[in-house]
Amino acid sequence: MDVGTLILIAVVVLIGSIVSAWIVSSVISQQMKNMQALMISRSLEVETKTVEKKRKGTRGSEAKPEEVAKQEVRDVSEEDIVRKIKQIIDEKVHNVANEAKKKKERLLMLLDVARGYALGFVSEDEYNAFLMRVLSELDEFKRLWLAAYPFPEDKDRLNQMLTHVARTKLPIEVREKGKGKEGSVKLSPDEALIRITSSIKSAISILDDLIKKRGDNPAVTPLEIKLSQELEKCKKKVEDLEKRLQELEAL
């Protein structure tokens, strides 16, 4: 071999080595990229599964209180519910006589407002607005009283009381007859006060009868209380005198 052939062979071997090294490098690089992509995808899958597990755990923990509450509701028996309702009702109707006295005070307050109307301090609209509030309170008291004493005669008396109070709504008009003329005449404030006073006293009288019927003292104002106490003392003295007379007659 001459020198030129040796140089040519050396060049070819060198080029082949370079090409082989480039091919091997490319293959290794491609494999590394594939491995990195695989590792990334696996890491993403692991993170996704972890997040899903956490969400499921959170939902499970949120669902537990609801399930516990539902179980507690199931555990409550009908007897417990009825017992609770009865307790609430008993608390409401236990002091129904005191509620009656409070409504009596409200009626006396309504009478004071009517006096203010007669003196010109209160307008018709102001009186009627207060009257509507009192009527609403009386209607609520009626339901409370009947819950404690569900008797037809009590219901009738309470309806009469409401009717008496409702009649005090202003303006109060009366029918006028005579000389071939028929119509209605609006009462003056003074005349209206007389009608209102009569109606409210009738309503208070009904409340007093209901309270006495249930064995309580209907007195609410200091004067009424004092008079009631004096009346009780007089009754006791009369009873003592009757007993002494019976003893003397027996002798």
pLDDT tens, residue by residue, 55-113: 555 554 444 555 555 555 555 567 777 777 767 766 666 678 788 888 999 999 999 99
Q: What's the structural domain count of the chain?
A: 2
Range of the domain at 62: 17-74
Q: Is 171 part of any domain?
A: yes
User: Domain of 125: which CATH number?
Assistant: 1.20.120
Q: Is 25 part of any domain?
A: yes
pLDDT tens, residue by residue, 39-55: 666 655 655 656 555 55
CA angle 37, 43, 47 (to 5 degrees): 145
Q: Is 5 part of any domain?
A: no
Q: Is 194 part of any domain?
A: yes
Q: Is 149 part of any domain?
A: yes
Rounded to whole angstroms, the Cα distance separating 207 from 239 reads 28
Overall pTM surpassing 0.85 (yes/no): no
Cβ(155)–Cβ(134) below 8 Å: no
Cβ(122)–Cβ(116) below 8 Å: yes
User: In this structure, are 199 and 135 located in the same domain?
Assistant: yes
Strands, DSSP E only, in 87-212? 173-178, 181-186
User: In this structure, are 105 and 138 located in the same domain?
Assistant: yes
Q: Is 9 part of any domain?
A: no
